[in-house]
A and B are shown apart, each in its own frame.
Chain A
Amino acid sequence: MTLLSLTGIESGPWITLLDGELPSEGDSIAVPIARLLEEGVSAFATAGALGAAVPTGTSFAELEEVVRSLTFVAIEFSAFGDGRGFSLAVRLRKDMGFKGEIRAVGPVMPDQAQFLLRSGFDSVEITDESRVGAFRVSLERFNEFYQTDYMGARSIAHARHGISQ
């Protein structure tokens, strides 16, 4: 498994906590969102950095309850075609103003790299290491876009008229 940064900012690995497992003090841990909501953020106060492992089916309202305590969020795709993960990332950035790391976990394709980046993801966990190159190529594919991205970066429509944000 390889961790690829989409933004160029390197991030450290973390441990995804299994059911019933308790973190060692100071660890960076990703807690499944269901458990985090059930046990509360305070149950994991000893963690070095607290994150949530969030399946794409999670509603943004649930995430909103705990987002202020989180340093990072791992969005778990069930399949590459499960586009809910993109909206979750957009929500985290735009609606909740989340500044921490958002990582894509699960079977995403190299060809989705720019969609991930432009929806607000920082990094991807790549299970098949032979695909890292394809991810990198895809990440550089397009250089102008018809839409503003999650940060409000200018779109082609703005660039055409010399408008930048």
Chain B
Amino acid sequence: MWNRFILEPMLNLLLWLYAHVGDFGLAIILFTVLIRLALHPLMKQQTKSQEAMMRLQQDPRWKEIQEKYKNDRERLAQEQMKLYQELGVNPFGSCLPLLLQLPIIFGLYQAIMLALGNTPAQLLELVRHLYPALHAEQLLPIDNRFLWMDLARPERLYLPFLPFGIPVLAILVGVSTYFQSKLMSAATKPKDSPASKAKGKSGKKGRDESSQMESMTKMMNVYMPLFLGYITMTFPAGLGLYFLVSNLVTVFQYILLGKIEISLPWKKAEKAI
């Protein structure tokens, strides 16, 4: 089921792109961009729901019921549901698009890894998943070279004056993940409403929750770049290329959604005029 509906269509699309562009690195880039753009409506929906949820959490009524029913979970849930309905917020609105995207992202990752097999045993596995129309016998061998990288192996850039290889891709993935996380957390951060600035018990509780969220975000902003950088250093470079392109596309998607403002020099000039 997974193979038929997720993995195989994606794998065949990836290799179809390779057959047409003749470069596996470019095929991975195009493939990642296409899949991420196809998921754009889901991402848009997810972002909208996140914002709605954050606005709701800044609502004084939300804080009031939190405080009022803090010892009665059942009543609290009922009141929260009422407020959701009143404000037209779906509490699962941000989870569902994310859940729908996950299998596709896993499939994309799996397709890239399968296509990068570098032994006959792995090639047999790959060939089994290809559609006859793709004519696997014409595609082989898949040329894994892209720029200085062998996409089937962990990437290092060797310079003649250095005794070791530099993991350029891992650094790029780490840095881009860090900036992407920073941009995203800034873009989805709720603007302080007057209510949230209000003093008192409910305001304190709201600030506690907010500081927990911020603390978690900060930790993720540090650990995720390190984690993905480490994965890129140890896994085939094709996967790192996917991480990098994916990060850049996500930033582009946030720009498209108007969540990140970029100040271009000519726009500044227009404003000045």
Query: Do A and B make up one complex?
Result: no
Binding site for B on A (CB under 8 A): none
Binding site for A on B (CB under 8 A): none
